[in-house]
Chain A
Amino acid sequence: MADDDIILSELSDDDLVLQMHDDLYDGLREEIEEGVGILLERGWSPYDVLTRALVAGMTIVGADFRDGILFVPEVLLAANAMKGGMAILKPLLIATGAPRMGKMVIGTVKGDIHDIGKNLVAMMMEGAGFEVVDLGINNAVEKYLDALEREGADILGMSALLTTTMPYMKVVIDTLKERGIRENYIVLVGGAPLNEEFGRAIGADAYCRDAAVAVETAKSFILRKHNALNA
């Protein structure tokens, strides 16, 4: 049977989830939205739909991107499909009190308008249960600091695509230090020209090479923070 003959509502739960993984991989937003709706109608919790259908599907996309099997355009289409599903789930996740991992303020640094990677990170962080406050592009230090304080955030995420703008991350971190609040936040940085050495040199907690790594790194730092608080 050809893919376009598949009737999602006639699939078993397991087959539907697998089909949604395929549809995410192929960037089929309408099919993902339909699949999310079907699973919810069948009584799935929004959290289960999110994790088992969407996040699990995007994890496959992320792995194939990392391994050079998928490329940026295909990842963007997959992300767009996931976004469609997330838009349905987000209000339901809030209403049903799904587990929250922590809160992240994220933005592209001053002088930089590139937001593709940053948007992917924000979406995957939301998928992993983080609350994300996205400041968008071209953020000056005060905008980051205001948002961190206002939102009571746990994590600061900064992104840059340009060699000329990435040093601005250090300006933000140095300002956090000057104000004595650096240790209040987990600082994660990312962007194409960055590397681990740069992350260390500017005083970030970690450099994250892609969205999947950002999620895992954030989870591990949050866990450590909780363990330290409970010790």
Chain B
Amino acid sequence: MTLSDAELSEAGLSPAHQGRVLLIACGALAREILALKAANGWDHLDLTCLPANLHLRPERITEAVSTAVAEHRADYDGVFVVYADCGTGGQLAARCAELGVEMVAGPHCYAFYEGNDVFAAKAEDEFRAFYLTDFLVRQFDAFVWRPMGLDRYPSLRDTYFGNYDRLIYQAQTDDPALDAAARDAAERLGLAYERRFTGYGELATTLARL
């Protein structure tokens, strides 16, 4: 299957209607979930993704997930939501509980890729860090640079990033091109750069239980 980041950002991904458990995921996790599915032979899992750009309006995530659950749940034995809290301030968790579906634990993908406990333990030292994942490195312009208006108003850079001190690229895969792109992003934001290999972290262990 060929996945386009632009499509995952804007439109998401339709289910293949193969498998008894449907994952309703953020488009930013599509490649990673499909890689895990292929590597582990998880043929019982089907995947549909909501547009990743919902992260630019997190207040819309809860309703969008809710609608997707309602649309698809009758076609599967089970549904699992592959979002963390993702800036919904607990509303997504509350809605999932109401709907009787489970979701990924943790505040966001940066935390579950690294491991929620490990991430929380580092919070004191890293609260000035700006994180990118593989997806966000590839989509840096679409998810960071342009929505923040930095293409039009470069003078705003320090208004947004003046309190940050470094960019940490959480690498899900070993890809020198992404490493170079992440380093470039750090430079554009005026931040120190650090690459940290996380692999798929708790995304893998969570999906393995389904």
Contacts and interface: CB of A to CB of B under 8 A. Distances in A.
Interface of A: 71-74, 76-77, 80, 111-116, 137-138, 162-164, 166, 192-195, 198
B152 interface: yes
Contact of A74 (B111, B123, B149): B149
Contacts of A164: 107, 111, 120, 123
A71 B149 contact: yes
Nearest to A68: B57
Interface in B86-120: 87-91, 107-108, 111, 120
Interface residues of B, number: 27
B128 interface: yes
Contacts of A198: 89-90
B163 A163 contact: no
Contacts of B160: 116
A112 B107 CA distance: 14
Contact of B127 (A77, A111, A163, A194): A111
A196 B160 CA distance: 26
Contact of B149 (A73, A114, A163): A73
A80 B153 CA distance: 12
A162 B124 contact: no
B56 to A, nearest CB: 10
Contacts of B153: 73, 76-77
Contacts of B89: 163, 166, 193-195, 198
A163 B164 contact: no
B124 A111 contact: yes
B4 interface: no
Contacts of A74: 149
A76 B162 CA distance: 14
Contacts of B156: 73, 76-77
Given A76-B156, A80-B159, A163-B107, 17 more contacts: A72-B148, A72-B149, A73-B149, A111-B127, A113-B127, A113-B128, A113-B164, A114-B163, A162-B107, A163-B88, A163-B90, A163-B108, A164-B111, A164-B120, A166-B89, A193-B87, A193-B88
